[in-house]
Structure 1
Amino acid sequence: MDRRNFIAKSTQGVMGTWLASKGVAAFAQGNFQEGKHYQRLSPALPVTVPKGKIEVIEFFWYGCPHCHAFEPTLADWVRKLPADVVFRRVHVAFRPAFEPLQKLYLSLEALNKVDAVHRKVFQAIHQNGARLDRPEAIIDFVVAQGLDRKEFTDTYNSFGVQAKVRQGKQLSEAYKIDGVPSIGIHGQYLTSPSMAGAGLPETDGQVRVLTLADQLIDKVRKGG
C-alpha cells in the first residue's frame, strides 16, 4: 500500500499460460534484472550490524493489507535465515497519522514483545476491523494481549521511542521508500513483492521477492 498503487495486480493471458506450464516455483527462480526487479542504492547506505553480518530490513505499515498478507510468508523465511543475516523491521510513517502505529511497533520492540503481539496487531486491524489509530485504543489493545498498562504507556511515550521514530523516518527517506512492503538488503539494494513479481499475482510476488532477497544476500556475501 502506498502513494502510487505499489502492489501489482494479477495478470492473465500469456503469463498465466506460461505459469501453468512451467510452474510458479520455477518462475520464482527467474532472471532478475537490476532496475526492474530491484534497485541498487548509490551510494550505499551505512548499516547497523557488525562486520561479517548482513543487514536485511523489511519496511512495513500495520495498516497495509499487503504487509498483512506478506507477513506469514516473510516470517517463515526469516526463521530459516543463515546465521550471518540480521533481520529487522522498520515501520514507516508516510503521514503523521501513521505515527501511533509506528510507536506501537517500536514499543513492542523495546519491550521484547514483537513475537508475542506483532501478528495480532495485523489480525486486529485487517480481520477484526479494530481502529488502532489513537494511543488510547492502542494501549487498551496491548493490555488485552497481556501487557502491563503502565510499562507499555511509559515505553510508548518515552524519549527512546520518539528518537527511534525520527531514526525510522530518516532511514525510510534514505532508502527512498515510497511503498510497502519493501525489503532493503545491507544498504545496497532495495526490492519489493511488486517489483520482483511485476505482472504476477500478489502471492507469487511474495515468493519471488524472497528468492531475489536470497540472491542479493549472497551477492553481498561475495562482495557484490
Structure 2
Amino acid sequence: MKSYVYPAATSTARALIRYIIDMMNREPERIFYLAFSGGTTPSLMFDIWAHEFREETPWMRMRIFWVDERCVSVSDSDSNYGTMLRLLLQEVGMPDEYVYPIHGDCRSPAQEAKRYSDLVSSTVPLRRGFPTFDIVLLGAGDDGHTSSIFPGQEYLLSSFHPYEKSINPYNGQPRIAMTGCLLFSARKLIFLITGKNKTEVVYDILKSGDTGPAAYVAHHAADVDIFTDIEIDG
C-alpha cells in the first residue's frame, strides 16, 4: 500500500485527478473502467475536475460505474449518481452511453443489486471469473465503513455477488454496495480520505489491524493507494 499525503483536501483532490489522468495516458489505446464512490470528498474532486482538468482528461476512454448508491431519486442530494452528474458529467459533456448508474430510485434494492451485478458482469472485462475495474475509488466513514459496507456487515466482503443490498444502521436507509469479489479483484483500488475527523480511520488503514471494513479492504486488496490530507506519525 502506498500513501500520498497533501496539505489540504483541495490539493489531495488535484493530485488524485492528475494520478488518474497519468495512469490513463500511460496506456493510450485502452478503455478504462472506473467505479466511483459518493460523499463530500469526491464531490470536491468532481468540481475541481470539471473546472481545472476538463481539457486534458481522455473522457472518451472512460466507462463510468458506481461503487455504491443510496436508494433515493437522482434529484436527491444523497444520490451519488446525481451528484456526479451535476458536478462533473454534465459539465464535461460525458456521453450517456459511457455512464452506467445504479438506479437508486428502484422499488426493490435487492433486484437492482442483481440487475447491476449482471450489467457489470457483462460490460466490465473479466479476470479469474470476476469483473475487474481498472480503478475503484473508495472513501471511508469515520466509523470505518466503505462501499456502504458498515461495521457488522463484513459478510458482504466475502460475497460472490458483485453487488448486494446493504442497510445504513444509523438511519435504516437501504443502499446498494459493491462487495468483496469486486473490491479485491480491482486492478487499482484508491482510497480518498480527507478531514481531521477521519484521522482514526486513516491510522487503522496505515498502522492498525483489520478493525473495520475500510481497513480490511485496504489490507487485503491487491494494489491499494491512499490519498489523504491526514499526516500519521510513525
TM-score by length of 1: 0.28
Structure number having the greater strand percentage? 2
1 or 2 for the larger relative contact order (CA 8 Å, sep ≥6)? 1
If you compute each CA radius of gyration, which structure gives the higher value, 1 or 2? 1
Between structures 1 and 2, the one with greater helix share = 1
With normalisation by structure 2, the TM-score equals 0.27
